[in-house]
Amino acid sequence: MLIIVVLRLWPLVLGVNFSFTGDGVRNGMWVGLANYVTLFGDPLFRMALRNVGLLVLLLPVAVAIPGLLATFVYLRVPGHRVYRGVYFFPAVLSPVIVGAIFNLLLAYDGPVNTVLGAVGLGPVDWLGDPDVAIFAVVGVHVWATFGMALVVFLAGFSTLDPSLLDAAKVDGASLPQTIWHVIIPSLSRTIQFVFVTTMIGMLTSMFGLL
């Protein structure tokens, strides 16, 4: 508890206090909400805030992809053992390496645009167009990190009662019905955990990738 208070709570209190004081000639003087007014008046901060909001909106997609793939692996689709290794492999790569790879792939004259040009879709400025770059970065981040969420989902599947899946199969439930009515309710706590950890990762681990 002492370590937590000294290294976590006390710096947090200091940070809140500093946010209401000035710097420069007003160093340490109480300025009220002036810092926050300046902050929200900064267009760069508002853009960053908008990007964070966009990440929150894309979070369900980042969770659904590993959840769906884990479902297929759990249901033992042909080659499921190979897929499990392939899906997890990007998680062991350094974000700097992933960024360097996709910097080449998504370059304006890179192979992705070459393929698009071959089918008549034209080049896309994946990393230079602000309206496209955020989605490109999120897509690469999801690809590089969903392997860990996949492992968590597979661990959650180990607690799933197989008799529930058998009963759904006997009742003639389709795969979407089985996922919606059996798997999702049974893995609700696992899904909540993946939501939290994925959100933390999306907000904190993109620096190396960028």
> Can you list the residues of the chain whose pLDDT is less than 70?
none
The third-level CATH classification (topology) of the domain covering 43-209 is MetI-like fold (1.10.3720)
The pLDDT of residue 120: 83
| 3-state DSSP assignment of residue 108 | coil
The pLDDT of residue 162: 84
Q: Whole-angstrom Cα distance, residue 202 to residue 96? A: 15
CA-based nearest residue to 205, from 132, 144, 135: 144
The pLDDT of residue 4: 92
Burial class (CB in 10 A: 0-12, 13-18, 19+), 127: middle
* Phi-psi map region of 125: left, alpha, beta (phi>0 left; psi -120 to 50 alpha): beta
The pLDDT of residue 6: 93
The pLDDT of residue 65: 92
The pLDDT of residue 193: 94
Instruction: Please tell me what DSSP assigns to residue 171.
Output: T
On the CB side of 46, how many CA atoms lie within 13 Å of its CA? 6
CA-based nearest residue to 93, from 189, 208, 192: 208
> Would you kindly state where each structural domain of the chain is located, as residue ranges?
1-41, 43-209
The pLDDT of residue 126: 92
Model-level pTM? 0.76
Tokens standing for residue 38: 């300046």
The pLDDT of residue 39: 92
What is the rounded average pLDDT for all residues in the chain?
Answer: 89
The pLDDT of residue 56: 87
